[in-house]
Structure 1
Amino acid sequence: MRWIAEAAAGSRALVATLAVALAVAGAGAAQAQLYQGPMASELSPQFYAWLRQHSDAFFAAYMTPDGRVFDPENGGITHSESQAYGMAIAYDANDAETFDRIWTWTRDTLRNADGLHAWRYEPGRGVVDRNNATDADLIIAAMLSLAAKRWNRGDYLRAAVQTASTLGDAVLLRHEGVVVMLPGRSGFTRPSQPDGPVVNLSYYHFDVMRIVADLDPSHPWDEAISAGLDFYERVVDAWIPSDWTSVADPQSPVPAERFPRRASYDAVRGPINLLAIPWDRQGELLRIVDRRFASHGAVPGIYDPHRGVRTADLAGTGYELIAAAVHCAATGTQVPMRFFAFRPETYFSSALQLLVIHQLYTKYPRCIPI
């Protein structure tokens, strides 16, 4: 794929420039050549003011004063993913103060010495599992990189490079001729998983991975992106979506044996990744997903890939917006205006709603009904 080749070439050319830039501890020189992507698009002051109102409501509902983003529907726990989403939402709204508050709590509480982040924190107990979650580390590194340029913070860039480099060591695995991106440092290969390696396809945030690839040109991120795209194609073609997927045979990904055999709150994010970057079969795959959503009233749901049946709806504006965004990308039908009115519902649905709104404005402006 030409896109992947261009990304790889850009990464190789970057090594010397990045090393010099880090030596002088400034963000500007390095970020001038680092891939930023559509997420870094500078939007109008009116858009930032509008989104800031919504993000303020989100943070009022789901963030403590010291910057911990929590999930009240799950006992108030915090995941590294919730911190990553919070950083992304604050960046999208051009809110430097909130971004730094979330990052400071994340750094001081979750960050391991190697630059990865403990994935689970429980109120009253603190960090209960130091293993990382790859999706969170990808987003944290990318958001730090983008914020380093926007707000001229060399410390953000140094932290981003450390996370990206350690992550490449920890989770990129060459298996059967392809590079697999593991969901975390430990627990997803044999002998822990007899059908390992196991991946979580919702963690393949392709545009974010491209940002990380430029931060860490010494690891084969471009190959991991290519393999991830192939996994998506095979899973969508066979329609066996699952939260956790065995790629023991990379040519035949199947639901993993030792995880719940369902497609639910992880897999619902998969279409967001399908929307992230253009590639040869993107339109065709989006149309397949769109038809599945349309057959159930344009509402995503929980799916049992073994029985081939849908078992429940995923009710919430954020989930329904994913279906509406896919429908627009597949057919050209604009997203209904009601999805741009924000009111906190649940942490996860609300976070996805704000993230998808920003994705639409930066990547699919034709979908905005204005």
Structure 2
Amino acid sequence: MFELEFADTIADVGQDAWDTLAGSAYPFTRYCFLHALEQTGAVAAKSGWQPHHLLVKRDGQVCGVMPGYLKSHSYGEYVFDWAWADAYHRYGSEYYPKLLFAIPFTPATGPRLCVAEGSDRDAVLAAVANQLPDYVAGMGVSSLHILFSDADTADCWQAEGFSQRVGPQYHWFNNGYRDFDDFLARFSSRKRKNLRKERRTVADQGLTLERLSGDQVSPELWRFFFHCYQITYAKRSGHGGYLPEQFFSQLAQTMPEQLVLVLARHEGEPVAAALNFRGDNTLYGRYWGCIREYDFLHFEACYYQGIEYCIEQGLARFDPGAQGEHKIQRGFEPILTYSNHWLADPAFARAVEDFLDRERDHIAAYLSEAESLLPFKAE
């Protein structure tokens, strides 16, 4: 018999207990990543991200964990449910708080329910799916949401009665390329010429780029990166970003081996930076910023440097983050991402299910069109 408990801080679980289940293959479920979010105040009740982590126990032993949060808004999730919240409000019901299982501010597909080695993962998931709705109803929460699971796990949640939602992203896949030119050999002649022109333009502007692992980045460069990060958010949304400077400096101490900083210099002076996280077989592009604008520098720092790194390191995939149709012509393939949802109100649940059915058809048509825009030669 499985039992569910909740922890209001990850420190209540402890690093050894958490990491025994979560491992380190996927950087964003590591204790040190989630703990840094809490310890630096990036997630807290006052920011609308109250930690509420799920613990699955059997015979008194924790056999599963799932990072969770009670949300009082829908910012920082990248699976947009504002219309659902508005519909609840218009009918006099409260959508918030809701219970969210996700990695804050991180639209990167990966494990959410982390299960002990040797445990029956399907049985644990089924027990969680069976018990969570009663828990949600008992605490007066409108809904629960599981964001950016892998496809197989999302299908399991759906089989257990959770609605499934899909969305598009653009990922690069390593087909055993020897080097960047080998990757470009797949392009049509015109598209290959365009991409080479972009890279040459970056060099012609006197820019040089280097890739640094976390332990190679000095405190001064971390401060520079954070300044770039704030500039990007100020341009995009008028605030300095969700994450404080201490968050990044803490990760530099606790998980430097999974940090890859791309640094751009002009005449020796740092002018731009892009931060990536490395998993066992995937590179995740996360944050970027520049203090001056240069032609095509964003593509070089955020995409081409990451591709070169994956080829050199033998990584299978590069997930550069959400949005960005301009990635398609640069060899990033359109893929589906998955989320699962359960709403306590039956009428709203049916309405959302109908919406998701129609949205799914639209996204399937969009992906088919997007695939036709890939730069690769016909095979």
Higher gyration radius (CA): 2
Same fold, TM exceeding 0.5?
Answer: no
Q: Which structure's residues are more often strand, by fraction?
A: 2
TM-score band w.r.t. shorter chain: under 0.3
Q: Which structure's residues are more often helix, by fraction?
A: 1
TM-score, normalisation: structure 1 = 0.24
TM-score, normalisation: structure 2 = 0.23
